[in-house]
Amino acid sequence: METKEEKPQQRFFKNKWKKVALVSSVPIIAGAMISLAVYKYSKPFKPAFYNYKSYMYQGNIDKINNNFTYKVFDEIIEFTTALTNRKVSAGIGSEFQAVGLIKKDLIRPINFQKFFQLDHKPNKTELEAMLKNIYTEPVWKHLASYDKDVNDAKDLNEEQWNEWKEKNPDSVKHLWEYVLPYYVQDSMIGYNPLKSKASKDPITEEMLRENAKKLNQNYWNKLEKEFEKEGKQDEFNTVLNGVDQSDLKPFNYASIFNIFNYLSHNGYSNFVITDAVRNNMLYGSAYNKVALDSTPGAPFELENLFTGNSTIDNYKWSIDNFISLVQDSTSFRIADGKNIAFDGDGQNILRNLIDPSRKDVDVALMFNGDALDAYYSEDNELRDENGNLVPDGTIQAFKFNKNIILLDTFVVAKDVNEQTEDIIYDSIRTTIFANLNKINHVMATKGIANKTEAMKESLLEYYQEYLEFIFNKKSELLNSMLEQLKTIYKETIKEEIFNEDLQKFNEFVAQKFENNPELIQQFKELFPLEKENAAESDEEFVTRIASILSHVNLGNEAYFEEIVETKYPNLTNFDFINYTPSTTIDYEFIRRNYFITDENEYDLRAIKIYEIALTDKQRQENFEHKGIGSVDDKLRSQLDTYYFNKTKS
């Protein structure tokens, strides 16, 4: 997918039609006008729907094209310009862009009554409760974090903000009233071990921890010498004794600095960074170059400076710190243009990282969705010099601690008429946002008050439907074990995923097959080996059947074409995009079902790339996500120019 960030660029426009000399006679002109009228009649006007390039499954695009002209853009500023010029009715952009559009009065609140086909318009309290159920916790918190920004109150402290809300209850706007979340992302550092000039083995967390330990020790040794020069050894001891060494300050083991530093000293020398101005400014804010080079108290302040809000006072500081972060950690200068490159195309980044022939890219700072796409490298069909596909799982990736969270969002233009609005909601309700309100429907119809329990019930419905499909005409066989399978499946829908859970299916199948040759034969006929004349041991047969029964397999082509594309077009996107869903049911469905191997085990590495929510352990070790705040056009132009001069000149 393409970069979710605005960058300065020169735009060149070409006339769609070539100019011709007006030497024709009136009859010819009249004929042309008649032809144009006939064309317009046969090709009625369709409003525009904008989206990032390579960011929707073709089947959904085809359906949207029935009523809209589906257009893609490379840079998000193109979507903003189209909305400003009233050239688009709806589309997908970013959350911080949506905040700016709200302030400019260019988009309207989502008509949830119409979209969800409700019998009444929900008030804010009702709507908030519904949306909290629909969206994952990280997504909801992220949406809510923009309340101050949307209301032009970023400078207010919490007490002032609460007072303002109490005084102006009817004036408070919320981002979640104006957008439908599409996919959510954070970032990772990916690397290709096959391109390492040293060890080809994957880098472990322990290796990174040891490297951070050395960096921190070097930092404190340097600081101690500075104190000694000034005859202040006692003061240094006081400072050192006040430091909790477990915090690994100022260098966290999972910081961009530490990961880049380790890679650059262990066989990796060609880094590509997603060329996104505001993203990189956010990363830079977590690295206070000036503080590191000066006062002894600096380490205690570093993490408090991490921010996605850009102002006239801090934008140069953030960009300068980003430059220092990259150069200090790798010892490579950006200006040299040899070891550090920038690329705004996510697909380009991941393909170059995989491609064995591209020796100039062995490390990438990339979105987690692109890292997941790269992890499944065989789908990208890149081959080594012997013609072999780069195997799945080749690309390794680490999540860093001071990270970004980006949410792509659907918005509706302010000035669309009611007829167009109806078409918009009909189109997205049957494509990318199909089944969006499913969790609330399950809670209402089954009398479930708990969101997690409703999510599990929803996944069970998917699971039962899948089993009924793959058992086809063997309904009696399925019915003999359906409730047992559903019980096991429900037990495996957990916050923490373990391979031991999937082994329950192996145990179930082994127990069923024990001393039951008739049942074994039924399963062999129902699920034959794909390869003719292939053989498998009894143990392999049990594992294969357990794997079939343990999850909903989106890779089953018949199921995908007959069921998913028809009933669940919201799920078709993931296999194409690989970005993390923003809704509770879709997120948990993919997490529970998509990452299972033929050996009936979870691919835990892939799941770690996919997951956005932080674990308790990560929070304890200072992992944090922050979003990007909105900026006005003047500041955006200034920071774009400054960034360009710093990274490109």
Flag whether pLDDT at 534 surpasses 80: no
Residue 620 phi/psi, 5° resolution? -65, -25
Looking at per-residue pLDDT, the higher value among 356 and 222 belongs to: 356
Inside any domain, residue 432: no
d(CA 431, CA 572): 9
Domain carrying residue 216? 187-404+629-648
Query: Same domain for 137 and 242?
Result: no
Residue 547 phi/psi, 5° resolution? -65, -40
Paired tokens of 131:
């949306």
- What pLDDT does 27 receive? 47
Inside any domain, residue 431: no
What's the total number of domains in the chain?
3
For 556, half-sphere exposure in the C-beta direction (CA atoms, 13 angstrom radius) is 18
Give the CATH number of the domain where residue 337 resides.
3.40.190.10
Q: Which residue has the tokens 């209301």?
A: 151
Query: Same domain for 319 and 453?
Result: no
Inside any domain, residue 576: no
Average pLDDT taken over every residue of the chain: 89
Query: Same domain for 639 and 593?
Result: no
Residue (of 325, 346, 321) closest to 260 by Cα position: 325
Query: Same domain for 131 and 63?
Result: yes
d(CA 410, CA 570): 14
Query: Same domain for 112 and 219?
Result: no
| Residue 338 DSSP label | S
Inside any domain, residue 411: no
Inside any domain, residue 284: yes
For residues 378-406, give the mean pLDDT. 94
Query: Same domain for 637 and 595?
Result: no
Cβ 622 vs Cβ 249: under 8 Å: no
Query: Same domain for 385 and 280?
Result: yes
Inside any domain, residue 306: yes
Examine the fold and report which residue of 122, 151, 183 is the final residue of a domain before the chain moves on.
Answer: 183
- What pLDDT does 550 receive? 97
The predicted-structure confidence for 46-71, as pLDDT tens digits, reads as follows: 899 999 998 999 999 999 999 999 99
Inside any domain, residue 424: no
The predicted-structure confidence for 610-624, as pLDDT tens digits, reads as follows: 999 999 999 999 899
Examine the fold and report which residue of 120, 149, 183 is the final residue of a domain before the chain moves on.
Answer: 183
Query: Same domain for 371 and 296?
Result: yes
The predicted-structure confidence for 222-277, as pLDDT tens digits, reads as follows: 878 877 887 877 777 776 676 655 554 678 999 999 999 999 999 999 999 999 99
Inside any domain, residue 106: yes
Query: Same domain for 204 and 169?
Result: no
Query: Same domain for 86 and 176?
Result: yes
Query: Same domain for 115 and 199?
Result: no
Looking at per-residue pLDDT, the higher value among 240 and 424 belongs to: 424
Query: Same domain for 175 and 191?
Result: no
